[in-house]
Structure 1
Amino acid sequence: MHEPEPAQQVASAAASTHAAPANAAPKPLSSRISREAPARIVAIGDLHGDLDKTRRVLRLAGAIDANDVWIGGKLTIVQTGDEIDRGDDDRKILDLVEKLKGDAKKAGGEFIALVGNHELMNAVFDFRYVTPGAYRAFGDLTAADPNTAAFLSQLDPSARGRAAAFAPGGRYAAMLADRPLFVKVGDSVFVHGGILPKHVAYGLDKMNDDVSAWLLAKKERPPQVVVADDGPVWTRAYSTPGEERCTMLEEALQGIGAKRMIMGHTVQNGGITEACNRKAWRIDVGLSHYYGGPVQALEIKGDTITALKEPG
């Protein structure tokens, strides 16, 4: 199921930007979005407010036990965004992930959560996919900034807590500001929607920094290149690729210095799929209750890539 494109919600107020030429040499990626390869990586796609399935896929990955305690040791988990919307449990998922980020670090591992389109939609109060239970879960939050509070007073009372949470500068917006749009771990680059050559030329670090600054209320608008219809959290360019799209993917990967791209965003009916000679991996399997898909994750050990599947 495809969602409406974001331009009219997010980008209408954003100033236009101009990408660098496609053949410009990419700048080295910062440590914020580039890691040395660990022995084992497990990538997890969209969670969409389903805490039960979130716990199940993390157990499948060997990350947590039945009590949500980190048992992954030096495992690296990459979750490719869209933890929220479509289900009642999205605040609990956000909080669990933040806890596991700290627990993994203490054990010598890492839990990396990326920003997806639904996280950015909530930051502009696009709440079309919020459930009644998810509104209630944020009902205890209020805006600290007087100007924000005055604006939120115009919203339906049921939405004010959530809006306070995700408004730039709000508690959960600040949480998201610490999450990158992209991460490169070893030879694999991870993103919610996809990275196009023009994104590489524009600068992945710049996009990350500008989105973070916006979520912290240090910039007035998100960067147009991110929230455009073909932005990295929205594009579906590699969802049904042909030869032209595979050539485009190869160009992007060369610019990043990666062998493969792992992405969520577009539901793959029946489970994880690959394309472009195993250089494109689509891991949004619709595992949430909303979609009713299987519980799966993608394991990466060097160049050995395996789809992990819940038994049954």
Structure 2
Amino acid sequence: MHDRAAHPAPPREDPPTIELGPPLTEDGLPYSTPYPAPDPSEPPGPLYVVGDVHGYLDELVAELRHQGLIDADGHWSAGRSRIWFLGDFTDRGPDGIGVIDLVMQLAAEAAAAGGYCRALMGNHELLFLGAHRYGDEPVQSTAGTASFLAAWRLNGGQQHDLDRLESHHISWLSRLPAMALEDDHLLLHSDTTAYLEYGESIAEVNDAVHDLLADEGADEWWDAFRRFTKRFAFRGNAGPTAVHELLDAYGGRRVVHGHSPIPYLTGAAHADDGVPPHIPGPYVYADDLAIAMDGGVTMEGRLLIARLPVN
């Protein structure tokens, strides 16, 4: 495990700079798929979700092994199981590219075994890709002139991740969906209703984000990053209503999201006793309509993996 003392916890506020897919096959990738073809008559396997990883590769590997999803050599061992990562692979932790490489590897191995390993695009994917593509190019921010590179560094960007970013990483990240529906669970990265601004169906939202990444300029990218950095829409008295807005538009009976660390949602992040937050598991809230999966690994919490449904 990495020494947490070498990676201090972020400030109390998860610092925004502004107001608060399918597996990709690439020739030459360094992994194989040593599994027999699955029997199509078999039922789908169990469904798992993984919260924000933020570069903590060792913690991810340990939790995947604990859940029986990978073997001792780091290869898929979950058969027809289905896994969705909820986004935010990089920034703040020590090995974001290593996390992306592992998820890409597991995507190929899972597909060969009759399961799948898929991922959503988080706001940090937008930020990371923007830092690579636009660098210090000025963008119009509500806080004045800014740039993706400056915002990425402020939000925990690690230069060694940017230095190791390759074309197959960019291609894979750029094709990640923004949202998905699995077993009546609406999977999102961010606890915001901003998705409603991009389409009236899941397909429309995902197409809109992909089109933006393919064709639009720095200001449009920045606006998407700003919208998907918003948080806490499902907290408080109005939270259930906000969840219902999304469920009514896109389907499902529950929202499952990352993005906002559970210690912030519960208020545990503001304790003054210096004790790391206690994260027993996913946080179910908003009249049982929302499940938060960011266990706060960057602030000495936990990297969460859960099998759905969560009671």
Output one character per residue of 1:117-167: Cα deviation in whole Å (capped at 9) or x when no partner: 111111222331446xx423553x6xxxxxxxxxxxxxxxxxxxx5xx5xx
1:2 to 13, 33, 42: 13
Q: TM-score, normalised by structure 2?
A: 0.69
Aligned to 1:243: 237
Superposed, 1:107-122 pairs within 5 Å as: 107-122=113-128
Match of 1:265 among 250, 259, 267: 259
Residue equivalent to 1:276: 286
Question: Aligned partners of 2:199, 2:212: CA distance in 1, in Å?
Answer: 18
2:160 aligned residue (136, 142, 145): 136
Of 177, 197, 200, the residue aligned with 2:174 is 177
> Kindly tell me: are residues 87 and 93 of structure 1, through their superposed partners in 2, closer, same or farther at Cα, counting changes over 3 Å?
same
SS in 2 for 1:93: helix
In 1, distance between residues paired with 2:130 and 2:194? 27
Cα distance between partner residues in 1 of 2:126 and 2:222: 12
Kept in 2: contact 1:253–1:259 (CA 8 A): yes
Structure 1 residue 55 and structure 2 residue 61: aligned? yes
- Structure 2 residues without counterparts, runs of 5 or longer: 1-11, 23-42, 132-148, 264-277
Q: TM-score, normalised by structure 1?
A: 0.69
State the secondary structure of the residue aligned to 2:262: coil
Question: 2:179·2:188 contact (CA, 8 Å) conserved in 1?
Answer: yes
Q: How does 1:57-76 map to 2 (within 5 A)?
A: 57-76=63-82
CA distance in 2, matches of 1:6, 1:116: 16
Cα distance change, pair 245–224 in 1 and its aligned pair in 2 (3 A): farther
* Cα pair 1:211 1:223 within 8 Å, conserved: no
Please report how far the alpha carbon of residue 177 of structure 1 lies from its aligned counterpart in structure 2 after TM superposition: 1.5
Alignment CA distance shift 1:173-1:2 (3 Å):
farther
* Matched pairs, number: 241
Q: Identity over aligned residues, as a percent?
A: 25
Deviations 1:169-214 (A, max 9, x none): x543222112111111120011111352871773343332233234
Change (3 A) 1:200 1:122: closer
- TM-aligned CA deviation for residue 51 of structure 1: 0.9
Which position in structure 2 is the counterpart of 1:92? 98
**Matching residue of 1:159:** none
Which residue pairs with 1:26 in the alignment? none
Contact 2:84 2:119 survives alignment (8 Å): yes
Residue 233 of structure 2 aligns to which amino acid in structure 1? A
After superposition, the Cα gap between the structure-2 partners of 1:225 and 1:251, relative to the gap in structure 1 and judged at 3 Å, is farther
Alpha-carbon separation, structure 2, partners of 1:205 and 1:94: 24
Counterpart for residue 307 of structure 2:
299
Partner of 2:8: none
Change (3 A) 1:212 1:201: closer
Q: CA 1:282–1:198 in 2, change beyond 3 Å: closer, same or farther?
A: closer
C-alpha RMSD over aligned residues: 2.7
Structure 2 CA distance, aligned partners of 1:200 and 1:254?
14
Deviation at 1:299, TM superposition (A): 1.1
